[in-house]
Amino acid sequence: MAEMIFKYSAMNGGKTLNILQTAHSYEEKNFKYVIVKSIKDTKGQKNIVSRIGIEKEVDILLKENESLLTDKNYKIYYTAKVILVDEVELLNEKQIKELWTIAHLINVPVICYGLKSNFKGDIFSNGIAQIFAMADHIEEIGSSSLCSCGKKAIFNARKENDKFTDVGPDIIIDDGNNKNYEYVSLCSDCYLKYVKINSIEAQNLAKLVAKIK
């Protein structure tokens, strides 16, 4: 049977471009592919949009608690050679279990693209925890997301009014309507330096350093 694969990177890591390239190679062979994204991803509305400006309309724009196992959705994907899911961190646990079942019961491969952690540095969602639990393969996409220091970016830091923050609503989409917010991909060292330097862990370690000299 087919597999469910999770491909992750930090923001701006080329995930959507990777989907568009994969879709293109299926298209060249006249193989049917289906693109799915959550309606919660308001960027590009019904399209997925890569950062170099290429867009493609999705086949299933999944509502917040919509099942993939409806007649309507099944008819869209059952003859597909692959299902490509963009921004999979916006799907819920149940939707991930459905994708896994589709791969393993009706033999349609599922490739999910997304972020593993949120701006707080925590696992992004229950959906992402579920995909880590169930994916047949987990792959990091290259290292095209770079921190400003030049190292590979791991974290998706949020800036509110130009200041790094790790408090606030879990999901704010950078669709152009949230001008006070900006996301910055950072390596672990810079994430600690700019975002988590006042965390309990960093403060406790600093105290140890000061005490034991």
d(CA 184, CA 198): 19
- Candidates 196, 157, 195; CA nearest to 174 is 157
The least CB distance from residue 205 to Zn ion, in Å, is: 19
Write the DSSP assignment of 111-148 as a string of letters.
Answer: EEEE-SB-TTSSB--HHHHHHHHH-SEEEE--S-SB-T
Query: Would you say 97 or 151 has its CB closer to Zn ion?
Result: 151
Of 94 and 193, which CB lies nearer to Zn ion in the complex structure? 193
Give the shortest CB-134-to-Zn ion separation in angstroms. 32
| Selected catalytic residue, list 3, 27, 66, 87 | 87
In the residue annotation, 64 being an active-site residue is answered as no
**Which CB sits closer to Zn ion, 22 or 165?**
165
CB of 203 to Zn ion, least distance (A): 21
Round to whole Å and give the CA distance between 47 and 26: 18
Binding site for Zn ion (CB under 5 A): 147, 149, 151, 187, 190
CA atoms within a 13 Å half-sphere pointing along the CA-CB vector of 163: 5
Catalytic residue numbers? 87
